[in-house]
Copies of this chain bind each other. A is one copy, B any other.
Amino acid sequence: MRYIPVTSADREEMLKKIGIHFIDQLFDMPTDMLTHLSKPLNLPAPLPEMEVMALMEKFAKEGEIAASKTSFLGGGINRHYLPATISALISRGEFLTAYTPYQPEASQGTLQALYEFQTYIALLSGMDVANASLYDGATATAEAVLMAKRINKKGKTVYVSCALHPHYREVLRTYLQDVDIPIVELAFDAKTGKTILAPTMMNDALALVVGYPNYFGIIEDLKEAREVATKVGALLISVTTEALSLAILKPPGEFGVDIFVGEGQSFGLPPSFGGPLLGLIATKDAYVRNLPGRLIGRGKDKNGKDAFVIVIATREQHIKREKATSNICTNEALCATIAGMYLTAYGKTGLANLAKQNAVKAFRLREKLAKIPGVSIPFSGATFNEFVIRTKKSGAQLLRNLLAGRQIFGGINLSVHYHKNPKDILVSVTEMNTDEDMDKFVHALREILK
């Protein structure tokens, strides 16, 4: 086996040293458990590398075809261009094949990359401090609520915008199911697409959770949310599923958000059928000891030289066990490193320009679509690079028509999660969409709705 260097000579010598004669003697367990001889595993026969490659290329064909179609899919998994530098750098074995940087002297590369990532997320979110990653935006949202509970001992119920990504709400429900934090969902305004904040109903609030932008692409009013949260004594948690929006929108920190969470996939990760992703979390200095997950600090070595090292590990499970702020151990470190690379590759003006380009492109398409007879823009709220259209057809039917004849993924059918809006489609526009793509979409929609 090409991954296992033990030869029969090696085996003999080592068995001898150990003082036994047969490999099976190594397995110091009840023999009735050693099932390998009686019942060898029933797995597909091993394939040589060339055949694995051929098989996987065959499997990948379908996806290549799908990915070559014109796409306006978004909804939390965002299509962005990946600079060629990134894959060249991230595949370096020193990054790829290292593990948790518990030994700082042997891990300054990973540590510094993560410290830079923390800085980037803090700068983007306008918060004081960010951690070194969580699993994804959805679990980050759940972790944020649990964190809020640790901070806000008085609050009881978490109020969650119904316009928050439906999957995030589902994950939140799973996480909170057995931990005595009731969830109340807040409806959204059918005109603006923004969450309806009714402070009078929320006086047991532990935390208030809103999307920024929300699932409909609408930029929620964080100023109002802050006021309401303060009024009811709740912590304000904002959730960003399209991290690129942070490069153009007023940062959550500016509104006094207590905990910012988000999905960082936009920063250099391909859609990847939904994973790996990159959970973001950031907060105020005062709450830093309540943060879940890993934190990298800048300290000194014994000669006083700058050195990076894991800090406040006393929050983490390997030290605090059941009293830890979270159970997270393995996180998304490599994805965080990628995000750092991505943000560096774009830089100050590049990232801002990219976000602007997304906003303008989405705006253009929205304007064009709105002019098509039979299409309306149901929500008046401002958007970044995603928006909802409403047509006279069912969303499912319309998307089928767009795909079948015209090879267009027209967006996400909102009726799956919002049964009351069966004709709404969530359309995402990024720098990946050319003017021709958009014209094609407009043209197709016009035809279908004729």
Interface residues, chain A, CB within 8 Å of chain B?
A: 49-50, 53, 81, 83-84, 88, 91-93, 431-432
A330 to chain B, nearest CB (A): 23
Please give the distance in Å from A438's CB to the nearest CB on chain B.
15
Q: Apart from A49-B83, A50-B431, what 10 extra A-B contacts exist at CB < 8 Å?
A: A49-B81, A49-B84, A50-B81, A50-B432, A53-B81, A53-B84, A88-B91, A88-B93, A91-B91, A92-B92
Which residues from B are CB-within-8-Å of A84? 49, 53
* Closest B residue by C-beta to A347: B2
Nearest opposing residue in chain B for A92, CB measure: B92
Kindly report how many copies of this chain are found in the complex they form together. Answer: 2
Across chains A and B, which 6 residue pairs bring their CB atoms closest together, nearest first?
A50-B81, A88-B91, A49-B83, A49-B84, A92-B92, A50-B431
Ordered by A's residue number, 12 sampled pairs between the chains whose C-beta atoms are within 8 Å are: A49-B81, A49-B83, A49-B84, A50-B81, A50-B431, A50-B432, A53-B81, A53-B84, A88-B91, A88-B93, A91-B91, A92-B92
State the CA gap A306–B195 with chains docked (Å): 72
Bound form: Cα–Cα A379–B81 in Å: 55
Given the complex of chains A and B, what is the CA–CA distance between A91 and B92 in angstroms?
A: 9
Complex CA–CA separation, A432 to B81 (angstroms) = 33
- Distance between A147 CB and nearest chain B CB, rounded to angstroms: 38
User: Distance (Å) between the CB of A175 and the closest chain B CB?
Assistant: 38
A432 to B432 Cα, complex, angstroms: 36
Residues of B close to A83: CB separation below 8 A: 49
Distance in angstroms from A78 CB to nearest chain B CB is 15
For the complex, give the distance between the alpha carbons of A93 and B84 in Å: 14
Alpha-carbon distance between A92 and B50 when the two chains are bound, in angstroms: 23
Question: How far is the CB of A354 from the nearest CB of chain B, in Å?
Answer: 10
List, in ascending order, chain B residues with CB within 8 A of A53's CB. Answer: 81, 84
A383 CB, nearest partner CB in chain B, Å: 23
| B residues in contact with A92, CB < 8 Å | 92
Contacts of A432 in B (CB 8 A): 50
CA distance A432 to B48 in the complex (A): 12
When C-beta atoms are compared, the residue in chain B nearest to A432 turns out to be B50
Residue of A50, A84, A88, A431 with most partner-chain B CB within 10 A: A50
A431 surroundings in chain B (CB, below 8 A): 50
CB distance from A355 to the nearest CB of B (A): 15
Residue of B nearest to A61 (CB): B68
Q: Which B-chain residue is minimally distant from A89 (CB atoms)?
A: B93
